[in-house]
């Protein structure tokens, strides 16, 4: 079974995806970290983020690995960029502000999608991102589009930074998030939008526990439906034999 979870930044995708993967014993994969890693690599190597050819080449050359947490510091996974742990570096404001730039390049997205599909083909997976249900896994068994107001999402990201002891200004985070939403939804290649067959859930003012419970019920209902359909098909086969 493949589960796709899409939505804008800080909508709760990672929390939901990790919880579902843990409960179902599925692979949890947040595809957004791949674009963040490419952004970080470009900044570290002083590559112009507006140089599409250079960014595409970087995406094809960089080694990005996502593994279970290597350190018990609240992380959901560990991200390795060319063998170096960059997990928390990927959450810095400079990455938040710039990650949508390389994400708009077709060549970068093509390479990332290729790697994401390769991972998904290995087995049961909960994949989180912005174009999973529409582009990466259009055949996913369940597609969730999680959303929330931009004000609430900015506050979540702001508080997350404060908990890590980082300096953060809410209004600056809000401004950056609005810009990120605009870039993500208006880009020509794989714009942020719900798949036509996605279940849309608004997480504004809701606890993660209530959202997880709702999605768990959806999974139970779908499994029951699939089981009934399979049973009906078998019965029809018996009648015609």
pLDDT of 95 over the 80 cut: yes
Q: Which two tokens stand for residue 101?
A: 């730039």
End-to-end CA distance of the chain: 31
pLDDT at 137 over 80: yes
Question: Which residue would you say has higher pLDDT here, 211 or 160?
Answer: 211
Q: Name 229's Cβ contacts closer than 8 Å, sequence gap at least 6.
A: none
Please give the pLDDT value at position 100: 85
Question: How much is the average pLDDT of 127-139?
Answer: 95
**pLDDT at residue 225 is higher than 80:** no
CB 55 within 8 A of CB 112: no
Work out the angle at residue 49's Cα, subtended by the Cα atoms of residues 45 and 51, and round it to the nearest 5 degrees.
100
Return the closest-CA partner of residue 19 out of 31, 33, 5.
5
Cβ neighbours of residue 6 closer than 8 Å, sequence gap 6 or more: 13, 128, 129, 130, 131, 132, 133, 134, 143, 144, 145, 146, 192, 194, 195, 198
How would residue 122 be classed by pLDDT, with cut points 50, 70 and 90?
confident
- Predicted structure pTM score: 0.79
Q: What is the pLDDT of residue 241?
A: 53
On the question of pLDDT at 175 being above 80, the answer is yes
Q: Which residue has the higher pLDDT, 150 or 29?
A: 150
Which domains are present in the chain?
2-210 (3.40.50.300)
- Give the residue among 40, 32, 8 at the shortest CA–CA distance from 154: 8
Reported as a single tens digit per residue, the pLDDT across 15-66 is 999 999 999 989 888 998 999 999 999 999 999 999 999 999 999 999 888 8
* Spatial contact of 42 and 99, defined as CB atoms under 8 Å apart: no
Q: Given a cut of 70, is residue 119 above it in pLDDT?
A: yes
Q: Which two tokens stand for residue 62?
A: 């960089």
Residue in the structure block whose two tokens are 């870039």:
183
Q: How far apart are CA 119 and CA 65, in angstroms?
A: 11
Mean pLDDT of the chain: 90
**Bridge partners, residue 129, by sequence:** 6
Per the structure block, which two tokens stand in for 171? Answer: 């209004």
pLDDT on residue 78 = 87
The residue ranking higher by pLDDT, 102 or 65, is 102
pLDDT band of residue 228 (cuts 50, 70, 90) is: low
Q: Residue 17 in contact with residue 150, Cβ under 8 Å?
A: no
Task: Name beta bridge partners: 200.
Answer: 145
pLDDT at 84 over 70: yes
Element (H, E) at 72: none
Which whole number is the average pLDDT over 138-157? 96
Burial grade of 28 (CB within 10 A; 0-12, 13-18, 19 or more): buried
Residue that has been written with the tokens 């259009």 in this structure: 138
What's the confidence (pLDDT) of residue 65? 84
The rounded distance, in Å, linking the Cα atoms of 233 and 227 is: 10
Q: Which helix (H) or strand (E) holds 105?
A: none
* pLDDT, position 75: 84
Higher pLDDT: 153 or 232? It is 153
Q: What is the pLDDT of residue 97?
A: 87
Highest mean pLDDT among 72-76, 149-153, 187-191, 229-233: 149-153
What pLDDT sits at residue 66? 82
């Amino acid at each position: 079974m493949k589960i796709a979870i899409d939505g804008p930044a800080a909508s709760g995708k990672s929390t939901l995806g990790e919880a579902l993967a843990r409960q179902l014993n599925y692979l949890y994969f947040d595809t957004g970290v791949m674009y963040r890693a490419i952004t970080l690599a470009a900044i570290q190597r002083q590559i112009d983020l507006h140089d599409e050819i250079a960014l595409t080449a970087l995406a094809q050359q960089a080694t990005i690995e996502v593994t279970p947490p290597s350190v018990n510091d609240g992380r959901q996974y560990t991200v390795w960029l060319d063998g170096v742990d960059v997990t928390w570096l990927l959450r810095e404001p400079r990455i938040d502000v710039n990650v949508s730039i390389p994400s708009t390049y077709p060549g970068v997205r093509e390479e990332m999608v290729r790697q994401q599909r390769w991972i998904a083909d290995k087995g049961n997976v909960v994949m989180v991102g912005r174009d999973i249900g529409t582009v990466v896994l259009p055949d996913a068994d369940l597609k969730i589009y999680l959303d929330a107001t931009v004000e609430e999402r900015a506050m979540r990201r702001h508080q997350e930074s404060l908990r890590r002891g980082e300096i953060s200004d809410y209004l600056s985070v809000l401004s950056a998030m609005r810009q990120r939403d605009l870039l993500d939804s208006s880009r020509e290649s794989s714009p942020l939008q719900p798949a036509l067959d996605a279940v849309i859930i608004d997480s504004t003012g809701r606890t993660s526990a209530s959202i997880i419970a709702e999605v768990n019920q959806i999974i139970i209902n779908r499994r029951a439906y699939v089981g009934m359909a399979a049973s009906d098909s078998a019965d029809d086969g018996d009648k015609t034999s």
